[in-house]
Amino acid sequence: MKNWLSTAKVHSPGYDATHWGFDHAQVVDLNTALQQPIRIVSLPVYFNRPGEFSYRPEYADIDLEQWDLILFVDIEFRSQTELVNWVESTGAQNWLLSVAGLHAGETLLPNVIYKPVWSFNFLHWSEPKQDFPLQREFLFECLCGARRKHRDYVMLAMLKSGLIDQSIVTYRDVFVGGDCTSTPPDVQEQFPNLSVPWPYVSPNLDSAWEVRATLDNSVSGLVPWEIYNRTWYSVLVETLGYGTTFLMEEKIGKCLFGRRLFVHFGQAHWMRRLKTFGFETFDSILDETYDTLDIIDVERYAAAFDQIQWLSKQNHPALLQKVRPILDHNHDRLFRFKLDVEAHMNQLILGYLK
């Protein structure tokens, strides 16, 4: 069966079936797929729902009953409950679902698998490097992306502390996907008389260090090696800054891949969840109890920023050398995690096709 799976033909009108482990050469047109002994199709969730970015009008009325196996993919962070309700509304029978987010209180069904697609995807575009300089010019890299509440907090805290002048910080208006256009009141209250510098590009940043001359959301798949090699630590500001959804996106992927010591600004219990996948954090040197503060978001951000300030006063080469085993472990674990997930996907597919 494994040999058959490596040569099987699959139809994939929405997302490339490589998400489920198929090679590009295995993706075929509709008629060819339907003529196979075992008929498989890979579809994005909500492919039949107008208004969704994954909507495919040419396939909105595809007959799902003609397939032996349907592979659904969600690259966002919708809940399993929402997605399964939608799948059942399509009339699909034999199906598997890949989700990119994990919601508190939900246990994944046997035919649902978690794949942190954004943390894995950039591995296809980035070659590992052994760069680990012990002379660096700046303290932190803080590349904020689209405007969001927790990123506003970080920018104001960096500004108030003066660390913004010793770091490479960007908060551009060229990225889509933000959740605010002005500073939320609970954040602004913590920084009276200060305004968020947005858009902002650090004067410490040489344009030659950028990953690309023109920046947009597509650069999320590129590792900023030139910036990493000039900064000691990372301020990790993932997409979600509050709520209870665990999401591993490209920002944490890059930190793990690039051997970065980071402080996380986001939801509570995020670091704890990261550890369940075999990664290590820095509680041996940092006070990571900020991760447990789940009542008031700004209190969690403030506790995390205390660790930023603590890091700024350390012997940076000595500290990085001390945590080097953790950084190496996380780098290696990212690749192993990807292989583990892909092996699990393979087993799920084979199990449905017995």
DSSP 21: T
- Say if residue 126's pLDDT is above 90: no
Read off the pLDDT of each residue in 252-268 and give the average, rounded to a whole number. Answer: 97
- Bridge partners, 40 (sequence order): 10, 69
| pLDDT for position 169 | 98
Per the CB < 8 A criterion, the answer to whether 122 and 253 are in contact is yes
Per the CB < 8 A criterion, the answer to whether 140 and 308 are in contact is yes
The SS3 of residue 155 is: helix
Residues 88, 349, 276: CA angle, nearest 5 degrees: 85
Scanning 265-315, the segments in alpha helix (DSSP H) are: 270-275, 297-312
Backbone angles phi, psi at 278, to 5 degrees: 95, 5
Q: How confident is the model at residue 1 (pLDDT cuts 50, 70, 90)?
A: very low
| pLDDT for position 5 | 80
For 294-342, the pLDDT digits (tens) are 999 999 999 999 999 999 999 999 999 999 999 999 999 999 999 999 9
317 sits in which H/E element? helix 316-352
| pLDDT for position 274 | 98
| pLDDT for position 15 | 66
Q: How many residues would you count in the chain?
A: 354
For 264-296, the pLDDT digits (tens) are 999 999 999 999 999 999 999 999 999 999 999
| pLDDT for position 3 | 61
Distance CA(277)–CA(148), nearest Å, equals 27
| CATH number for the domain running over 124-334 | 3.40.50
Distance CA(9)–CA(289), nearest Å, equals 49
Distance CA(241)–CA(168), nearest Å, equals 21
| pLDDT for position 124 | 82
Q: How far is CA 201 from the centre of its chain?
A: 23
Q: How confident is the model at residue 221 (pLDDT cuts 50, 70, 90)?
A: confident
- Say if residue 111's pLDDT is above 60: yes
What percent of the chain is predicted at pLDDT more than 90?
A: 87
Distance CA(116)–CA(144), nearest Å, equals 20
Question: Between β-strands 231-236 and 262-264, what pairing exists: parallel, antiparallel or unpaired?
Answer: parallel
When comparing pLDDT for 297 and 353, which is higher? 297
| pLDDT for position 2 | 52
Domain with CATH 3.40.50 in the chain: 124-334
Predicted TM-score (pTM) above 0.85 = yes
- Say if residue 149's pLDDT is above 80: yes
Per the CB < 8 A criterion, the answer to whether 260 and 115 are in contact is no
- Bridge partners, 264 (sequence order): 236
Q: What is the mean pLDDT of the chain?
A: 94
Token readout for 207 is: 């344009």
- Say if residue 82's pLDDT is above 60: yes
Read off the pLDDT of each residue in 242-250 and give the average, rounded to a whole number. Answer: 94
Give the contacts of 218 (CB within 8 A, at least 6 positions apart): none
The SS3 of residue 171 is: strand
Read off the pLDDT of each residue in 81-87 and give the average, rounded to a whole number. Answer: 97
- Say if residue 352's pLDDT is above 90: no
Distance CA(336)–CA(339), nearest Å, equals 5
Read off the pLDDT of each residue in 88-104 and give the average, rounded to a whole number. Answer: 95
For 158-172, the pLDDT digits (tens) are 999 999 999 999 999
